[in-house]
Amino acid sequence: MRRLNMADAKAVAELSAQFGSFGRLLGAELDGLTEDQLDWSSDRYEWAGWSIRNNVSHMASLMIRWPLLRMGPVLFPDGKPVLDEQNLLMESKYDRRLDDDVYWDAPVLQDKLSQALAMTQDILARDSSEGVLDLEATVDFGGSFERHPEMYPGEVRKGDGDPPLWHVKVGAVMRHMYYELVTHLFNVQRLKRAQGLQSSVSIPEVGYWMLPEWDRSEP
């Protein structure tokens, strides 16, 4: 699997452009879907437990919560709100998604994701002058950093505690978020195919979905 190299300024610019174009890729997949198609799920496949709408909500949530909540102390130390409805966006009773009771309609979810993608591009643009990608924050969630440390050499350190804390650089978080986006876009495509619909775009061959052990089964 190709790994994005954040030590290269050209690669940073490339990643920023990829964040910038992701909304178009997702929009092409969502275009014309009915409410029933957005909400279709199945227990037949493990990857179909979340609907397309759920996947999009998760994309928006992770793009908001990682920079603002987990990395916020180093990225935005003054604590001033960066996004409209910021507190509401970060508070949800739903697992790893925005609040379904507030953010449900697909265009609304896409809009919140677009705002988060723009925020991420702004963070990447700060690297040349501020070196933000080398900033490190301590988080209580290992997740993919713990499962796939080989993807983040020199950017993730396991700390003390039970469960342990993790010391994570902003550069690793940037790649993690993009890998997540692409992987959930792959899920969106599979959910469409499971409903007899065709996918609309080619997905970049980076991210967790390209790992050898990843379940890439089709309906």
Residue 6: predicted pLDDT: 56
Please report which helix (H) or strand (E) contains residue 112, including its range: helix 106-125
Cis peptide before 163 (omega within 30 of 0): yes
Stretch 39-68: mean pLDDT? 98
Per the prediction, the chain carries an average pLDDT of: 93
In this structure, what token pair is assigned to residue 191?
A: 């959910």
Of the chain, the percentage scoring pLDDT greater than 90 comes to 81
Residue 1: predicted pLDDT: 42
Residue recorded with tokens 């970049």: 204
Report d(CA 118, CA 131) in Å as an integer.
Answer: 19
Question: Is residue 121 classed as helix, strand or coil in its secondary structure?
Answer: helix
Q: What is the pLDDT of residues 89-132, one digit of tens each?
A: 988 999 999 999 999 999 999 999 999 999 999 999 988 778 88
Residue 2: predicted pLDDT: 46
Q: What is the pLDDT of residues 126-185, one digit of tens each?
A: 887 788 899 999 998 889 999 999 999 999 999 988 889 999 999 999 999 999 999 999
Judged against a pLDDT cut of 80, whether residue 193 lies above it is answered with yes
Minimum mean pLDDT range among 4-8, 68-72, 137-141, 162-166? 4-8
- Selected from 1.20.120.450, 3.30.365.10, 3.40.50.300, 1.10.10.60, the CATH number assigned to the domain covering 9-210 reads 1.20.120.450
Asked if 29 and 188 count as a contact pair (C-beta separation under 8 A), the reply is yes
Predicted TM-score (pTM) above 0.85: yes
The one-letter code for the residue type at 84 is D
The residue ranges of every structural domain in the chain are 9-210
In the chain the beta strands, taken as DSSP E runs, fall at 136-139, 156-158, 166-169
